[in-house]
């Protein structure tokens, strides 16, 4: 049983919904990222999605694109991210997922990637531009290392795509709550509940909902339908708005606490 599966089993036994924050590794630098991760965990994060910066993040809106650009100015590598995860493992055992695009993972080497990720303490990959039809090689490498592969479904996903994801995915299924790119939004799709009900006819895996969730009220609403709520752009906006502020990490933690309270 993977750490992600064990985590969801524990939450289900307690009738709790998970809150999963996303941040970009290296934004604004790796040392600060480590402090932010600790603040998120201390403020109630149940799992972490750690973004791998990429020069062409086509699925991301302006907020996460800007975070990637800030991070890439530091000229670091996947090995630096693995070292970061290793340091986080000295104070936390919550699941950590690397969220990124296929090119950096492929260039690193899929077997090497999965081995090094597992040794660092990573629990799985979410590769936003890799459809399940083309994911065989990395799934094989990840499975050999005991890592989960999380796939995306969207409001436009067909029954055939839902079935295919159900066959390939492990850990949980990530439901993109809106069409388009990432980014905070004032309102959410009114059809989320029925979409999740349909996905559950294809898979018994937990379902997390992300993209566009930015307020405690939205977290509370989405938690009614899902097993996990994922918040990214809204958190990164707090980082962006407080760059250079010595209280930035504290402000990120306070925002995280307000989101976590909405899941209870």
The beta-carbon contacts of 214-222 under 8 Å, at least 24 apart in sequence, are 214/184, 214/185, 216/258, 216/259, 216/261, 216/262, 217/262, 218/188, 219/19, 219/259, 219/262, 219/263, 220/262, 220/263, 221/188, 222/177, 222/188, 222/192
The parent domain of residue 156 ranges over 3-261
Taking CA atoms, 227 is separated from 5, 17, 123, 143, 173, in Å, by 12, 5, 18, 23, 10
Give strand pairing partners of 176: 210
Q: What is the pLDDT along the chain (264 residues), one digit of tens a residue?
A: 889 999 999 888 888 899 999 999 999 999 999 999 999 999 999 999 999 998 876 777 788 989 999 999 987 799 999 999 999 999 999 999 999 999 999 999 999 999 999 999 999 999 999 999 999 999 999 999 999 999 999 999 999 999 999 999 999 999 998 654 444 445 555 678 899 999 999 999 999 999 889 999 999 999 999 999 999 999 999 999 999 999 999 999 999 999 999 988
Q: At residue 23, what are phi and psi to the nearest 5 degrees?
A: -135, 160
Which distant-in-sequence residues (6+ apart) come within 8 Å of 33 by Cβ?
A: 23, 24, 25, 26, 27, 84
93-129 pLDDT tens trace: 999 999 999 999 999 999 999 999 999 999 999 999 9
How many domains does the chain fold into? 1
Sequence length of the chain is: 264
Nearest partner of 177 among 152, 150, 149, judged by Cα: 152
Q: How many CB atoms lie within 10 A of CB 30?
A: 17
Contact 182, 211 (CB under 8 A): yes
* Model pTM score: 0.92
| Residues catalogued as catalytic | 49, 60
CATH number of the structural domain spanning residue 86: 3.20.20.70
142-180 pLDDT tens trace: 999 999 999 999 999 999 999 999 999 999 999 998 654
């Amino acid at each position: 049983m993977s750490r992600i599966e064990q985590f969801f089993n524990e939450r289900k036994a307690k009738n709790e919904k998970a809150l999963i924050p996303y941040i970009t590794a290296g934004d604004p630098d790796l040392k600060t990222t480590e402090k932010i991760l600790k603040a998120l965990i201390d403020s109630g994060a149940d799992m972490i999605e750690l973004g791998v910066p990429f020069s062409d993040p086509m699925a991301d809106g302006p907020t996460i694109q800007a975070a990637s650009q800030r991070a890439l100015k530091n000229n670091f590598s996947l090995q630096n991210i693995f070292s970061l995860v290793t340091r986080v493992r000295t104070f936390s055992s919550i699941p950590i997922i690397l969220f990124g695009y296929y090119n950096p993972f492929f260039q690193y080497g899929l077997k090497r990637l999965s081995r090094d990720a597992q040794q660092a303490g990573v629990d799985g990959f979410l590769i936003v531009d890799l459809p399940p039809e083309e994911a065989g090689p990395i799934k094989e490498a990840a499975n050999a290392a005991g890592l989960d592969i999380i796939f995306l479904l969207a409001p436009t996903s067909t029954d055939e795509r839902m079935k295919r994801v159900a066959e390939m995915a492990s850990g949980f299924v990530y439901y993109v709550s809106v069409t388009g790119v990432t980014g905070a939004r004032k309102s959410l799709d009114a059809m989320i509940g029925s979409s999740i009900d349909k996905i559950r006819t294809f898979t018994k895996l937990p379902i997390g909902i992300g993209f566009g969730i930015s307020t405690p009220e939205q977290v509370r609403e989405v938690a009614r339908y899902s097993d996990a709520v994922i918040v990214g752009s809204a958190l990164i906006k707090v980082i962006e708005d407080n760059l250079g502020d010595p209280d930035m990490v504290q402000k990120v933690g306070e925002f995280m606490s307000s989101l976590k309270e909405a899941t209870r």
